[in-house]
Structure 1
């Protein structure tokens, strides 16, 4: 197969790329490495502003595959109309599960055990002890039980949680037990000590965590968001945080990046990390393996992995 492939990683640094395509390195530079009309396989640059990554789309008139290196493809959806019909859009399932699940546990444990307060006390030279909540013997809900949600549960098990409640868009059964549909949330939320959000951002999940959702959370519960910022209605969250009824640990926010003067920075009981669920040392080797496998499948005209949608369908 002779086709142009645009990669955001230098091709000579990726083991296992198949022979045949013409590989071009483009990570968002102002100048394109080749004519976009000749690009058949476009790998979207990772952690690059949306206007940059979406800029080539109208000119990718011959593209067949758009591959992201992120778990979510929500940033692409508004621009899909600029692509030809029949383009397969693939996400990076298999790349971010470990690192995102690690962060979910890090945020949960840090928020429960009061680590932010310890760090501030250290800065002041103060020794502040006392009892804090434990993750052990708690009921945890995972909202968005896909590959990342499953990886989060893998890491919860050793911490001796009492129960894990799995929730997704539709009901199903797994080896670990049932997955409840979103419609069960009102009945389930009052039972939960920690809610971890790992759902994709879609029309269904935008503001899924609204005032009604938050009001049903039990007093003292913790909300952890490693999904997307707009899954949570920020105004409603601020209202619940104001009186200290619940706490939150957020890797993603709405808006994002969070402006310097935004009230979330100073809201009581909030731990914020700057959307770092994916970018770790685990990213690069997993991303390279995914690209080598996908491009081998593409060259050999085999089914691709992780196809989320096909344009025009």
Structure 2
């Protein structure tokens, strides 16, 4: 992983546990797999503890790591660096995506509350006019507020499920679109299953939590965006390509919809793109995931997984080959 992250990912308590559990390669960590030092470490490594910035782990690298039995990723997705060859070798894989889901869900709830109260356009009006009597300048038909919201959750991913839990604090009615969730499971989650067209057409807020796969790319296309009612708030903390940026821009420029976008397509948007200037759009630089002191959760989870491995127990957060096609 990137050496500059090590103290954030493994705060003192987690680092101390790590040193008790394992014989660490020194100096720790590697940032590449090409040097003689990397060759020496790979030749005897039983576990690779990886993080942001990990180089590609493919068949050629695995040939240099004959003792490797596990990859524990102290970050979110493993799909960006881990080849299926690892699974073919029988290597077990774990990820800290569950820990990374916590701040994303918290950010999403904050975005829903602030967006539903139209805090972002009102803040711009307040700054420009220096008077709090700005509500009259907004279309009353587009006013939301948080009481009795219908929130459509697109994807019962780790993050989507946490968002569903957090939404209980505002007593929202939650619609869920996820083709992998059964009616019984939806009932357990306390949500109402809905077709995606129905969800976008009847929700006050649409929040996106699906992975970026060939099946989900462009799922919120021009037709579905047009189905959203005037005043609908779109929150995207998942991946930019899930939403048709051109179609969304048209509805945001007209003021028909509002949006909180932590991700876009492309990312970042070109300097002259109209979304930069719109009062009804709040853009953030892909920061919903773990930042600052939140990053330590990832390392703590990874050390927990290493402890399970050391004691012969299965991972609590495994990443299985069969699931790679439908997870982030």
Q: TM-score range by the shorter chain?
A: 0.7 to 0.9
Deviations 1:77-127 (CA, angstroms, capped at 9, x unpaired): xx6257572333432243123311111022222223233334434554621
Is the strand fraction higher in 1 or 2? 1
1:169 aligns with 2:166: no
The answer to whether structure 1 residue 303 and structure 2 residue 314 are counterparts is: yes
Q: Which residue of 2 aligns with 1:3?
A: none
User: What pairs up with 1:266-305 in 2 under 5 angstroms?
Assistant: 266-267=277-278, 269-281=280-292, 283-305=294-316
CA distance 1:42–1:211, shift in 2 (3 Å):
farther
Structure 1 vs Structure 2 CA RMSD: 3.2
Q: Deviations over 1:236-285 (max 9, x none)?
A: 22233232221211111122233433343235621111111122355234
Q: TM-score, normalised by structure 2?
A: 0.77
Q: How does 1:209-288 map to 2 (within 5 A)?
A: 209-267=220-278, 269-281=280-292, 283-288=294-299
2:113 matches 1:109: yes
Q: Return 5+ residue gaps in structure 1 as ranges.
A: 1-5
Question: For the Cα contact (< 8 Å) 2:233–2:260, is it kept in 1?
Answer: yes
Within 2, Cα distance between the matches of 1:27 and 1:120? 46
SS at match of 1:278: coil
SS of equivalent to 2:252: helix
Name the counterpart of 1:59: 61
SS of 1:287's equivalent in the other structure is helix
Q: 2:154·2:178 contact (CA, 8 Å) conserved in 1?
A: yes
Q: 1:12 to 1:59 in 2, by over 3 A?
A: farther
> 3-state SS of the aligned residue for 2:145?
coil
Equivalent residue runs for 1:1-313 within 5 Å: 9=6, 13=12, 14-17=15-18, 18-24=20-26, 25-26=28-29, 28=31, 34-35=38-39, 37-38=42-43, 39-46=45-52, 48=53, 53-55=54-56, 57=58, 58-61=60-63, 62=65, 63-76=68-81, 80=83, 83=86, 85=88, 86-121=90-125, 123-124=127-128, 126-128=130-132, 129-130=134-135, 132-161=143-172, 163-172=173-182, 173=185, 174-178=187-191, 180=193, 184-267=195-278, 269-281=280-292, 283-310=294-321
Q: Contact conserved, 2:31 with 2:55, CA < 8 A, in 1?
A: no
Gaps of 5+ in 2: 137-142
74 and 111 in structure 1: CA distance in 2 versus 1, 3 angstrom threshold: farther
Alignment: residue pair count: 297
More helix by share: 2
